[in-house]
Copies of this chain bind each other. A is one copy, B any other.
Amino acid sequence: MRIGELSERTGTPRRLLRYYEEQGLIVADRLPNGYRDYDASNVDRVAQIRGLLDAGLPTRIIKQILPCLNKPRVIHFPDATPEMLATLEEERDRMTERIRCLVRNRDAVAEYLDAVRGELAEPSA
């Protein structure tokens, strides 16, 4: 598919698809006329990229992480340098910490909302 379709199917501005490509997060073939030609797998891939970005990871980390997440399941582990493994461990722990923080604050917000709800629903309780 061309960039317009991928843009629509992922809800992502064309500009960003080109940006992700520039950052090495996705690859695109080229049609004879120079247009980008995307494989269907890019729909999922872009969704994952956006999720990770939204989760706070910078593109340079995502670039490192993505190759590991795409493999269907346990296969070859060819180019896993020690530095990369260290980066991944670090990032995994950062993500865990982020999750903990997010959950804590999400729960606090939710509790607050529930409390207000209760207040409004049972003014005399």
Decide if A16 is an interface residue (CB 8 Å cutoff). Answer: no
Majority DSSP secondary structure for residues of A touching B: helix
Decide if A65 is an interface residue (CB 8 Å cutoff). Answer: yes
Q: Which residues of A are at the interface with B, using a C-beta cutoff of 8 A? A: 48, 51-52, 54-56, 65, 68-69, 71, 74, 77, 80, 85, 88-89, 91-92, 95-96, 98-99, 101-106, 108-110, 112-113, 115-116, 119
Do the beta carbons of B109 and A77 come within 8 Å of each other? no
Do the beta carbons of B69 and A116 come within 8 Å of each other? no
Minimum Cβ distance to chain B for residue A11 (Å): 14
What B residues does A77 contact at CB under 8 A?
A: 115-116, 119
Q: Given A112-B69, A113-B88, A115-B77, A51–B106 Cβ distance below 8 Å?
A: no
